[in-house]
Amino acid sequence: MNKYLIILLFLNNLLSVTPDSHVINRIRYDFNSRENYRDLNSYRDENELLEFIESTMETHLIPGLSISIVKNNDIVWEKQLGYANIMNNVLVDENTMFILSSISKTITATALLQLFEDGLFDIDDDIDNYLPFDVNHPDYPLAPITFKMLLTHVSGIKDNWSVMSYYDGDSELELGYYLEEYLSPGGEFYGSNSNFTNSMPGTNYSYSNIGAALIGYLVEKISNQSFNEYCNENIFEPLEMDNAFWFLSEINNLNQVASPYQVAGGAGDSCYIIGCGIYDESNPCFCDFACIDYEDCCLDYEEVCGEDGTGSSPGNLIEYEHYGYSDYPSGQLRTTSNNLAKFMSIYMNDGIYNDVRILESETIELIKIIHYPLVNSMQGLMWYYKNQNGRTLFGHNGGDIGSSTDMFISFSDNLGVVLLTNSNNHNAMIEIESAVFNFAEENDFTITGDVNNDGIINVLDIVQTVSLILASEYEESSDLNEDGIVNILDIVQLVNIILS
């Protein structure tokens, strides 16, 4: 009732409002695309894009997918497709959370670099000065391991999968206990040969989940706060990432979490044996979409890998329980594509999203620098570069049991794309990602409620809508309820957007 009283009072004073009035801008994430001219042979409109994505999902047995596009610092297009849970008939929607897998590392690094901005350490400091136990390479005990080495995967710490267990639900081991037992001689999970590379710290690249988890633990020790609580207070709450959780125990409704699925199959010489959509680059019978286009995946393609083939049956998908692990800052964050897009936006806008600063612009630039060019020419501080279809992209991907995720930015055209799925098919994800980038590059987007097309929704949009009503004119952008007329109901809906 109070909200509509506000609307009436607002309308009574509307004609006295000037363009200089200060209004807090709030953007609602419902969007319509406005297409530019394009080369039909190279790019897809929205319907063509969705047909391609749905076909790829079907062929590669991807149950569910959530997509967000950021352009010019706004989330401009979002789409959810498929199932969060097949058996229970739960569709993916805007609130569906996916496990991010290794994209989680970018949030972990961001938390650490906030503390760096506070002057609490230098990235070239020895991490031993900030830990309750020493971390030394057994072959090079005098060589310090620095923050920068951890952030660039050159620390010499190696993943030993024999002691990196998966649990049904969250791990019961505390982060600090697990890492001390993994990295300290004599520890329960320690192995001098299996837990460290043969190279001196700073001289060799070795992608390390344990190293990323150690960054999370350093956040705990430096901030005197548990890692997940630190992220809640300093990243998730300021960005209004309302559906972002490190632990399953923090999530009230697990139906909002996409169930992980794996495709049953393995090696073999036929599509039926290996299953359609399983990535196996050593097997020429792998049914990727290029083979399907040319219908030469296998001799029995149509019977096995076609739309009605036995190999493409959803029955080949195996559902797994939600899981966790002790090195959780390396990959266990669960969130929505919309929430992750908010986070990605700070890296596209000098550390700011929606007037909230998370990092300084100088820190963003530091993250983008290649710090060990002779060791890895594409690795920044946790974020990395890749070249794909003529674009240089900056971001991170993730892959795990029933998880394939991508978050990449094209700085040259100020575009960012988030893709989250609940199956592991990296090859299909790359094809979808490239198609989404093409679509985003060739299209403008308008935000629902942004009547005057200035990129924000505020009182000026109401002024323009009122002007249309008084002049008995019609514009589609002002017809928010799509009833064919512009009237007071559209103003009510517009005010609701601003107040929401």
Q: Domain map of the chain by residue range? A: 1-15+453-500, 99-254+322-440, 261-319
Mean pLDDT along residues 224-241: 98
Indicate the range of 45-54, 71-80, 357-366, 467-476 predicted with least confidence. 467-476
Task: Please give the model's pTM, rounded to 2 decimal places.
Answer: 0.79
Indicate the range of 212-216, 312-316, 431-435 predicted with least confidence. 312-316
What pLDDT is recorded for position 471?
83
DSSP states of 455-495 = SS-SHHHHHHHHHHHHTT---GGG-TT-SSS-SHHHHHHHH
Angle, CA 330 vertex, CA 370 and CA 127 arms, to 5°? 65
Question: What SS3 class is residue 296?
Answer: coil
What pLDDT is recorded for position 264?
65
Q: What is the mean pLDDT of the chain?
A: 83
What pLDDT is recorded for position 263?
73
Does CATH number 3.40.710.10 belong to domain 99-254+322-440? yes
Q: Is 164 buried (19+), middle (13-18) or exposed (0-12) by CB count in 10 A? A: middle
Structure confidence at residue 163 as a pLDDT band (50, 70, 90) = very high
Share of the chain above pLDDT 90, in %: 63
Mean pLDDT along residues 233-239: 98
> Do 469 and 486 touch, CB atoms closer than 8 A?
yes
Two tokens at 367?
Answer: 């993250």
What pLDDT is recorded for position 448?
66
Between residues 413 and 497, the one the model is more confident about: 413
